[in-house]
Structure 1
């Protein structure tokens, strides 16, 4: 990128004017790709924690409107391409968590608390620092464990419903090679065709009222199971997998995201959307590149228009939420799972890579991953919370330079004949860390 590209265009800039249509079109594409790539995951998540089909459609409508307004407000105010999105990893977490004590009203209460935590993050830097201290391998392993059952679902759905699921997966596979950006939207389009064919046979019955967009407001209830099992994991996974990476993505394009205003706006948006069933909005991560990158035009000072365009596009798409929700939820079994699963494969692969990149922390990451993927519930609290808690404890104890780990090895080592213990380069099992990986594995380790 040239120096001319990096500076804000002034009146004396002699560069040829670039049509405003370029960032506008980029924003429209950003919204279409972002929406169609993951709305099935949002529906699966809301349904997973107890929402009825109408309540799930309301939640989808609420988060769509809130992230649209957040994108418009932030990008217009700061004149940089800040795009907001719903929390896709958070929705996957909800799908894996399942219903909690108190049902759907308790889940809505947890969404409200999550929004309040975002607001507090913007007001108090200490909470941001606390989130930053969560070990990356543990956070990534928890996310990977949460995503695993959803990513497996397309394979199991294919085995049980091949006629409905095979066209979706084949379309996705072809487009992954030919046009990766459009792979998941293409799978979604294939799913719509499958649904249309199913509807023509009379197997799908929809009333006109199900196609009309409306918000279903819910009086929240409060319970410690929902707080610990939904609100805290939803906050952590959204911060770790969306907000923090979103800031990093923007930095790669030389944009500095205003942290406090962004947290306040997305936090308030989450609170407002929660009463209608929306789970969480945040800074966009992957889709942020579509509005902030070169596809939005060579003039960096005008790329904010792409983010505004994306927000407006979301507002146009929002009224279709009810119809899309009704069609997808009324589809044959396996179709929704197939679309959601392929939409999350990229995130799953990235989480696995981040979790197991460092050989020093693989055991702690493995413990976290297995617990999160197990789906176990203890004391009414889902596996994500227990995975995070136990994973952090394992990370502290098993880390090679951990004082606790060194003391334990000194205590246990002589009893089991491990030889020299207590060195910082001794890994789990008493073996030197450098001997626990193959050359190929070490070649893939992040530096």
Structure 2
């Protein structure tokens, strides 16, 4: 642990904090919608947040420490959206059974090494194009937020430009500070009336309903793998981290399995928040960015222990502030991935197809655009190579 202490930096710890802030504030409402689909009470909803927080905390911290890479995990946001619309007629115990089935499939994919082989088949320019497509909307959100919060976003943007010139390692810290100043003056109520409350985990014995398993558990596995784990593995790949993707998915499956009875419906590799921790803004030295992943784990644990209070605080921060903070933190990552994706003449068109497909946000057969971006990009590449041959 002495080497870990030596590697700690403010920028990496801040990257971990921003990853958790963005992760919670951007999608916690969708998790609650999934819980509402089962008509759960408040204490059970808090159990979901605590279980998911513990799962993300332990996997982020220990996987980052073990592999010395910024491995960031998240709850499955598309999985939560799926649950919010597909749980009609199912009771909570049956939903838990579906969560466990999905987790077992993730463990199976991890143990067999299938996911490793899949990731290796994706050419680097295609992976970079997909990641750039995923993050593209976050870059745009800086300027769309400028419409509704002109002074706050403008000040954050100018602060970023000047700090990048003078002290780039602390640029995002300065941006966060500027945003919080505006929040205090414009919306002081965000911090008022908040009290620290510790929730509790609630165990529910699963029930096995084949219809719910196939109608909820299997789609939950598919959308989590295609929309979260594949992009998450791509983040590590494009940033030069050679870690066993199958092993990572397997461990997230184990965490999901253990926490499913408490409401931890799916833990997976993160993409957007992982990009924050794996980029240059986290630390100039890639070998020290694992501190960002470990820090994210600590902040996830604090958020889990805080339960409803922390979630309420994150959820009440102005959307424009969080979107601008995320967009500026990802700006360099977006640019470098677009550059890598398009710099090879042979793969440029295939990479462009991947980028545009992913950035479009389209969905086919319930599967998100990130998956189809890779499929169409690789298909384009195969046809072009065969035509040349």
Q: What does 1:321-360 correspond to in 2, within 5 Å?
A: 323=309, 325-360=311-346
Correspondent of 1:69 among 58, 61, 65: 58
Q: What does 1:75-86 correspond to in 2, within 5 Å?
A: 81=68, 84-86=71-73
The question of whether the paired residues in 1 share the 8 Å contact of 2:354 and 2:373 is answered with: yes
SS of match in other structure, 2:72:
strand
Change (3 A) 1:31 1:169: same
CA distance in 2 between counterparts of 1:37 and 1:305 reads 13
Higher normalized contact order (CA 8 Å, seq sep 6+, divided by chain length): 2
Change (3 A) 1:82 1:56: farther
CA distance in 1 between counterparts of 2:368 and 2:145 reads 24
Matched, 1:131 2:119: yes
The question of whether the paired residues in 1 share the 8 Å contact of 2:127 and 2:238 is answered with: no
- Give a deviation string over 1:278-305, Cα, whole Å, max 9, x none: 6424797727986997879xxxxxxx99
CA distance in 2 between counterparts of 1:214 and 1:391 reads 46
Q: CA deviation at 1:321?
A: 7.4
CA distance in 2 between counterparts of 1:112 and 1:340 reads 32
Correspondent of 2:383 among 397, 403, 419: 397
Q: CA deviation at 1:349?
A: 1.9
Moved more, 287-296 or 347-356: 287-296
Change (3 A) 1:316 1:384: closer
Q: CA deviation at 1:322?
A: 5.4
- Give a deviation string over 1:77-120, Cα, whole Å, max 9, x none: x6x74664235xx98xx58x994474497999998788656534
Partner of 2:216: 222
CA distance in 2 between counterparts of 1:60 and 1:171 reads 34
CA distance in 1 between counterparts of 2:158 and 2:98 reads 38
Partner of 1:212: 197
The question of whether the paired residues in 2 share the 8 Å contact of 1:375 and 1:382 is answered with: yes
Change (3 A) 1:330 1:73: closer
CA distance in 1 between counterparts of 2:199 and 2:129 reads 37
Gaps of 5+ in 1: 1-19, 252-256, 297-303, 407-423, 425-447
The question of whether the paired residues in 1 share the 8 Å contact of 2:28 and 2:311 is answered with: no
The question of whether the paired residues in 2 share the 8 Å contact of 1:43 and 1:57 is answered with: no
Q: CA deviation at 1:123?
A: 1.8
Partner of 2:187: 199
CA distance in 2 between counterparts of 1:176 and 1:307 reads 23
Q: Which has the larger radius of gyration?
A: 1
- Give a deviation string over 1:141-179, Cα, whole Å, max 9, x none: 222112111210110111221133223323333332333
Partner of 1:11: none
Correspondent of 1:186 among 164, 174, 181: 174
CA distance in 2 between counterparts of 1:23 and 1:308 reads 10
Gaps of 5+ in 2: 36-41, 89-94, 207-211
**CA-atom RMSD in angstroms:** 4.7
Partner of 1:383: 369
The question of whether the paired residues in 1 share the 8 Å contact of 2:136 and 2:359 is answered with: yes
SS of match in other structure, 1:222:
helix
Change (3 A) 1:158 1:56: farther
Aligned length: 359
CA distance in 1 between counterparts of 2:57 and 2:334 reads 26
Change (3 A) 1:233 1:65: same
CA distance in 2 between counterparts of 1:108 and 1:188 reads 38
Matched, 1:233 2:220: no
CA distance in 2 between counterparts of 1:322 and 1:292 reads 36
Partner of 1:409: none
CA distance in 2 between counterparts of 1:188 and 1:111 reads 36
CA distance in 2 between counterparts of 1:307 and 1:205 reads 27
The question of whether the paired residues in 2 share the 8 Å contact of 1:361 and 1:398 is answered with: no
CA distance in 1 between counterparts of 2:132 and 2:245 reads 26
Partner of 1:143: 131
The question of whether the paired residues in 1 share the 8 Å contact of 2:16 and 2:295 is answered with: no
SS of match in other structure, 2:278:
coil
Matched, 1:43 2:24: yes
CA distance in 2 between counterparts of 1:245 and 1:151 reads 18
Matched, 1:177 2:177: no
- Give a deviation string over 1:107-136, Cα, whole Å, max 9, x none: 999987886565345422343112211232
